[in-house]
Amino acid sequence: MGIPIKHVIGTVALIGVVIAVGFSYTIITSYIDADIMKQQLNQIAEYVALNLIEITSLVNYANYSGTPMMKILKLPSDLGGRTYSISLLKLVSETGQGYYVEAQLVSIDHDY
C-alpha cells in the first residue's frame, strides 16, 4: 500500500512551517538583542559624558591649584558577555570644536 501524495505534501509543508517559524524567531530575538545593546551602550556613553562634564565644570569654576583631579566611574565590565570600548573623540567643525564620547562593542560573538 502506497503513501498518498497528500500526506507527503502535508508533511513537507509542516516541516517548512516549523523551520520558517524557528528562523523568524531567531531573527526577531537577534534584532531585539541588538537594540538592547545599543540602548545600554548609549547609557554608558551618557554616564561617562556627564561625569566628564562634571569634573570639567569643577576644574573651570573652582579655584584650581594644579593638582591632579580624579573621579572613579563605576562601569560594567561587559554587556551580556561582550566587551566594549569607550573613546573620547575631538570634533572640529566650522562652528567650533568639542568632544564626544563614543561607546562601541569590541567583540561580537558568532554562534557557528
- At 53-62, the pLDDT tens digits run 998 888 888 7
Distance of CA 52 to the CA centre of its chain: 21
Distances (CA, A) of 34 to 25, 41, 47, 101: 14, 11, 20, 20
Taking the model in full, what pTM does it have?
Answer: 0.72
What confidence category does residue 1 fall into, taking pLDDT thresholds of 50, 70 and 90? Answer: low
What mean pLDDT is predicted for residues 76-90? Answer: 88
Beta partners for residue 91, in sequence order: 98
Residue 88 φ then ψ, to 5°: -105, 115
Q: Which three cell numbers mark 91?
A: 570634533
| Number of H-type helices and E-type strands within the chain | 1, 2
